[in-house]
Amino acid sequence: MLDIKFLRENPDIVKENIKKKFQDEKLPLVDEVIALEAEKRETQTKADELRANRNRVSKEIGNLMAQGKKDEAMALKEQVTSQAAELEELSKRQDELSEQVTKIMMTIPNIIDPSVPVGKDDSENVEVERFGDPVVPDYEIPYHADIIASLSGLDKEAAGRTSGEGFYYLLGDVARLHEAMIAYARDFMIDAGFTYAIPPFMIHSDVVKGVMSFAEMEAMMYKIEGEDLFLIGTSEHSMIGKFKGQLIGKEELPITLTSYSPCFRKEGGSHGLEERGLYRVHQFEKQEMIVLCEPEDSMTWYNKMWKLTVDYFRSLDVPVRQLECCSGDLADLKVKSCDVEAWSPRQQKYFEVGSCSTLGDAQARRLGIRVKSKDGNYFLHTLNNTVVASPRGLIAVLENNLQADGSVLVPKPLQPYMGGKTVLTPKA
């Protein structure tokens, strides 16, 4: 959410930013919220004048009563009583205006970084750099669901009976490999200096509204019926929510955390669910990284964070690339974002396995997370990034380590988590 003062003083910048995000339908909101906020300030000024007058007259009434001038005091009391109704109306209108201003401000997109390429959607994202050579072997790479099936590691039919489309059972060595990737990601991030955390998997609606836009919330979140609770779509939600309403000392920054959680998503809209495979599902597991830092340090941390994901996948012999997200592909709270994509030798193209974002002070402003400073308190910056999300990451490891005989080599860093196992062999 933008600072209303910034919007009021820079309406043209805000409008140009909206145009860059191809959300022209939001352009009238800028002038509308400026008018509403002006009325709100005017209403507040009138209310403050009435309160000040009430306090002054109340003292005067006390003096008159002390002097025995009861009739004059009673006349002033009638004046205070008549103004009380006006003050109540002004206060009510002020609350209405505050609500309208906040509602609009939460739909106006954050100001994107000047380095963000302008484009309408993810088809116009820009490749920045590749890491590792993408290899296409001289033997066929089966569809990932078939690779997993050959290892007796997948049962979507049973999951359909218990839970419906978009769910799955992972079994045996494949399930173990899946968890090995998560455990290795945990230790990888601890070694990088991050503090490990396991957060709540459900959060209140005020936290949801603090960490994401309304559009994202509607498309992603599952609500618990009859409760003010939502299942998290990523641990970033509850990890940032941990600091809601807090005043943090400068000496405590940066706060660097890595969190594990299951993630739950509707996966509705144009993407849809994948019927047979595991690219798009309702439930998955993820190791995340979250940073809270000084505003001037956020871009430095942004670059550190996505590079950690690259290093993680390269250690597993998976070629990856960094893809800069264009303006139209950025969620409203994001200042800048990039995807890390893994090479698929079967498809002979890259697919997303992680996403890194800096949100400026948008989440901090919504949740009231401030830095305590002798020169005045201010909002900090928040960032998040995927270390690994599985089964997406699992697919990348399986395809890139599949051998001609159908076996899958276990990358060396994962072997200790697999009881020393070095290869997964197809079942008869």
For 230-289, the DSSP string reads: EE-SSHHHHHHHTTTT-EEEGGGPPEEEEEEEEEE----TTS---SSSSSS-SEEEEEEE
Please tell me the pTM assigned to this model. Answer: 0.89
CATH class of the region 4-105? mainly alpha
pLDDT at site 269: 46
Instruction: Name the nearest CA neighbour of 199 among 229, 224, 234.
Output: 234
Peptide bond into 411 cis (omega under 30): no
Torsion angles phi and psi, residue 389, rounded to 5: -120, 125
Strands 247-249 and 370-372: parallel
Torsion angles phi and psi, residue 285, rounded to 5: -120, 150
Strands 202-203 and 230-231: antiparallel
pLDDT at site 209: 92
Instruction: Name the nearest CA neighbour of 94 among 163, 135, 47.
Output: 47
pLDDT at site 50: 80
Which DSSP letter does residue 10 get? -
- From residue 385, give the alpha-carbon distance in Å to each of 164, 243, 308: 29, 18, 9
CATH class of the region 122-424? alpha beta
Does 122-424 match 4-105 at the fold level? no
pLDDT at site 272: 54
Strands 195-197 and 255-264: parallel
Instruction: Name the nearest CA neighbour of 137 among 408, 322, 424, 352.
Output: 408
Strand, coil or helix: 120: coil
Task: Output the tens digit of pLDDT for each of the chain's 428 residues.
Answer: 899 999 999 999 999 999 999 999 999 999 999 999 999 999 989 888 888 777 777 677 677 677 777 767 666 666 666 677 778 888 899 999 999 999 999 999 999 999 999 999 999 999 999 999 999 999 999 999 999 999 999 999 999 999 999 999 999 999 999 999 999 999 999 999 999 999 999 999 999 999 988 778 878 899 999 999 999 999 999 999 999 999 999 999 999 999 999 999 987 544 555 667 898 899 999 999 999 999 999 999 999 999 999 999 999 999 999 999 999 999 999 999 999 999 999 999 999 999 999 999 999 999 999 999 988 999 999 999 999 999 999 999 999 999 999 999 999 999 999 999 999 999 86
**CB of 154 closer than 8 Å to CB of 145:** yes
CA dihedral sign of residues 153, 157, 163, 165: positive
Specify which residues 356 forms β-bridges with: 338, 385
Query: What ranges do the domains of the chain cover?
Result: 4-105, 122-424
First to last CA, the chain: 57
Under 8 Å CB-to-CB from 268, ≥6 apart: which residues?
A: 219
CA distance 170 to 182: 14
Strand, coil or helix: 52: helix
Length of the chain counted residue by residue: 428
pLDDT at site 270: 43
- Ramachandran area for residue 267 (φ above 0: left; ψ -120 to 50: alpha; else beta): left
